[in-house]
Amino acid sequence: MSTSVKPPYIQKVDQRGDIAVWIVDGSYIRGHVDEEFTNFGQHYAFEYIPLNEFWIDHEAAHDETRFFIDHLLVEHRLMAKGVPYDKALVEADREERKERRLAGDISRLTHHGQQLPDAKGVHERLWKKLENGVSVWVVNGRLVRSAFDIDFTEGGHDHVYEFVPENEVWIDDAIEEEERGFVLLHELHERNRMAGGMPYSQAHEESSHLEYRCRHHPDELHDALAAEGWE
């Protein structure tokens, strides 16, 4: 890691053999090191993370640390043996899903398995309804990951995730308040571009660049959001 970048550590929360588990400042990492860092990571997926460390983003709500540690243990072990990331991810996700099910998250959204999970059940609060009819919701990210998509991070919308209702944008409540505006900008820009026919890969890349610029020039965030219909 560059000497111009401060260490992102907040608190050491566990030790698994030789591996130290750290809670880190994910917002700082996304703004100064890697905009694609999400909920957690380990060395073989993110080379800037030391070999014997797991990094877990500091969460604003709903402690998921134990799920992420279980995931990382499998992912790290397999990748250390040379297993490609995509294959290691499948096995790690399987272990994480098992732990989430045991914790009762899926049962909560399915009324003990009696019905399919209802997307409205993850709504925490309506942030804003835009003039174009799009509703932006802060959602329970833990329940989204447990019941719908284990890889859901930061935010999403109906043009990417089939489980997100039409004309909705979701912002993960695990994201700290001061960072949500940047995630919101990414999701609104991406959705607007995809609604206009742009493919996801291109819309995502463009949105990531815009988000990264505003993280480094926060004075531009207000106008950038207004351009996406957030007024």
70-126 pLDDT per residue, tens: 999 999 999 999 999 999 999 999 999 999 999 988 888 887 778 888 899 999 999
Do 79 and 124 belong together in one domain? no
Any domain includes 23: yes
User: Is the pLDDT reported for residue 2 higher than 70?
Assistant: no
11-25, 30-44, 54-68, 109-123: which is most confident: 11-25
Do 184 and 219 belong together in one domain? yes
Do 98 and 143 belong together in one domain? no
In angstroms, the Cα distances linking 50 to 19, 24, 26, 136, 179 are 10, 13, 16, 37, 25
Residues in the chain: 231
Looking at the chain, the whole-number percentage of residues with pLDDT higher than 70 is 97
Of 37, 70, 103, the one marking the end of a domain is 103
Q: Give the 3-state secondary structure of residue 52.
A: coil
Please count the CA atoms within 13 angstroms of the CA of 122 that sit on its side-chain side: 33
Do 88 and 154 belong together in one domain? no
Any domain includes 166: yes
Of 103, 137, 164, the one marking the end of a domain is 103
Do 18 and 51 belong together in one domain? yes
Any domain includes 4: no
CB 206 within 8 A of CB 175: no
User: Is the pLDDT reported for residue 3 higher than 60?
Assistant: no
Do 133 and 201 belong together in one domain? yes
Any domain includes 1: no
What's the mean per-residue pLDDT of the chain?
93
Sheet containing strand 53-57, strands side by side: 9-16, 19-24, 53-57, 40-42
Phi-psi region of 167 (alpha: psi -120 to 50; beta: other; left: phi over 0): left
pLDDT digits (tens, 9 = 90+) for 165-189: 999 999 999 998 999 999 999 999 9
Any domain includes 110: no
Residues in contact with 83: Cβ distance below 8 Å, sequence separation at least 6, in sequence order: none
Do 126 and 183 belong together in one domain? yes
Where in the sequence is the domain holding 140, given as residue range(s)?
Answer: 119-227
pLDDT band at 6 (very low <50, low <70, confident <90, very high): confident
Do 85 and 161 belong together in one domain? no
Do 93 and 128 belong together in one domain? no
Do 173 and 93 belong together in one domain? no
Do 138 and 219 belong together in one domain? yes
CA distance 140 to 125: 9
pLDDT band at 4 (very low <50, low <70, confident <90, very high): low
